Structure 1
């Protein structure tokens, strides 16, 4: 479990097969490496990976074919792109973002980015190759002022259309400068994870028992503060 608050930037290098070396930038390595242990979970661009070997300034992990097919981790490796790094949440730690599981739901792409006086406004949408997972996992969770993880970064949905074709986030200068959002160009792909609470609400609404209709309705959820 993570919070979506990025601690450092790094790069990923293929070691052969499904094993990868994640190198952490010198300025961000200290807080991550100080208590890193084998078996720990680390989010790499929002993808939860398990530490198998600890290096002086990074670690080695294995990514399954499912992970590589469902995320942009393979692109980051091929293009030597910067990736966001966050260690897992410790019990008792501050939760400054939202609960992020590290299980990517779909891939989207940056439509446009506009700098304003106070922030960077960024629009994201689906792409042709990942429309199915977008409509199944992302669109139902898009709620104005709700949470979403973009490349593992906890962001707030500032605006979205009712159908879920796109969403906009407002990124403060610190987050923009300290994460790989600064390197994105229109058309760049990103890992997306919907808010886990939204996933469960969506599941409750859509689930129908074979013998009887579910008692979880929109009215029920609204009455109990979920809508």
Structure 2
């Protein structure tokens, strides 16, 4: 579990199809790592399999490569791709962002970035796997950075976030150009709410198909909530 508060920037390098090296000069992060620890690398939860003097080696699976930007990052820029790093949340640590699992829901793309008087406004396109959970003032992790949705369209497929200068300078969000791919993870709470409510999904129960009604104003009224 992570918080989306980035602790350092690192450089990722492909060592093999299943292993990457992450180099980082922030000793406060690297010196505390142990074998088996989890680290969010651009929002992707990876497991430390080897400790290096200036970083660590992590294992990657075909699933991870297929669902995230890591494949493009390591293949296109095998020795200089900058990534956001965050060590796993420890009991008693400050929770400054929101609960981030490190399980990327989909890859989105930067549409536009604008500089304002006190922040940067970034606009993104989100795939359906993420868009369904995007709501105004909700939380979203972009390359592992915990951000608040400033605005979005009704589908959630287009959304914008305001990034303060500190976060912009201390993460790789400052390196994004229009069209750049980013890892997106929607708020974990929305996924559980959708699961528990069913939202019109069909399930198997004792050999028969049961379709749950979506929660609408009419549904709530019928069951005495309105």
Same fold (TM over 0.5): yes
* Residues 173-192 of structure 1: CA deviation (Å, up to 9, x unaligned): 00000000000000000000
* Structure with greater strand share of residues: 2
- Contact 1:112 1:124 survives alignment (8 Å): yes
For residues 173 and 57 of structure 1, the distance between their equivalents in structure 2, rounded to whole angstroms, comes to 28
- Contact 1:114 1:120 survives alignment (8 Å): yes
**Is the partner of 1:141 in helix, strand or coil?**
coil
Match of 1:217 in 2: 215
- Contact 1:6 1:179 survives alignment (8 Å): yes
- Select which of 26, 34, 40 maps to 2:37: 40
* Residues 139-161 of structure 1: CA deviation (Å, up to 9, x unaligned): 11111000000000000000000
Offset at residue 218 of structure 1 (A): 4.7
Q: CA RMSD in A?
A: 1.7
Indicate yes or no: 2:63 matched with 1:66. yes
Match of 2:4 in 1: 4
Deviates most, 142-151 or 9-18:
9-18
- Contact 2:19 2:57 survives alignment (8 Å): yes
For residues 81 and 193 of structure 1, the distance between their equivalents in structure 2, rounded to whole angstroms, comes to 20
Superposed, which structure 2 residues align to 1:57-206 within 5 Å? 57-77=54-74, 78-79=76-77, 80-126=80-126, 134-135=127-128, 137-203=129-195, 204-206=197-199
**Is the partner of 1:14 in helix, strand or coil?**
strand
For residues 90 and 44 of structure 2, the distance between their equivalents in structure 1, rounded to whole angstroms, comes to 18
* Residues 117-141 of structure 1: CA deviation (Å, up to 9, x unaligned): 0100000004xxxxxxx21x21111
The runs of 5 or more residues in structure 1 that have no matched partner are 127-133, 222-227
* Residues 16-68 of structure 1: CA deviation (Å, up to 9, x unaligned): 231111101x2xx2221232100000000000000000011100011111111
Q: Normalised by the size of structure 2, how large is the TM-score? A: 0.87
- Which one has a bigger Cα radius of gyration? 2
How many pairs does the alignment contain? 210
Deviates most, 61-70 or 76-85:
76-85
Q: Normalised by the size of structure 1, how large is the TM-score? A: 0.87
For residues 202 and 214 of structure 2, the distance between their equivalents in structure 1, rounded to whole angstroms, comes to 9
For residues 216 and 95 of structure 2, the distance between their equivalents in structure 1, rounded to whole angstroms, comes to 29
Indicate yes or no: 2:49 matched with 1:52. yes
CA gap of 1:185–1:217, structure 2 versus 1, over 3 A, is same
* Residues 169-221 of structure 1: CA deviation (Å, up to 9, x unaligned): 00000000000000000000000000000111222242444565548835689
Match of 1:225 in 2: none
Superposed, which structure 2 residues align to 1:10-25 within 5 Å? 10-24=10-24
For residues 14 and 45 of structure 2, the distance between their equivalents in structure 1, rounded to whole angstroms, comes to 17
The runs of 5 or more residues in structure 2 that have no matched partner are 221-226
For residues 211 and 59 of structure 2, the distance between their equivalents in structure 1, rounded to whole angstroms, comes to 43
**Is the partner of 1:52 in helix, strand or coil?**
strand
Match of 2:224 in 1: none
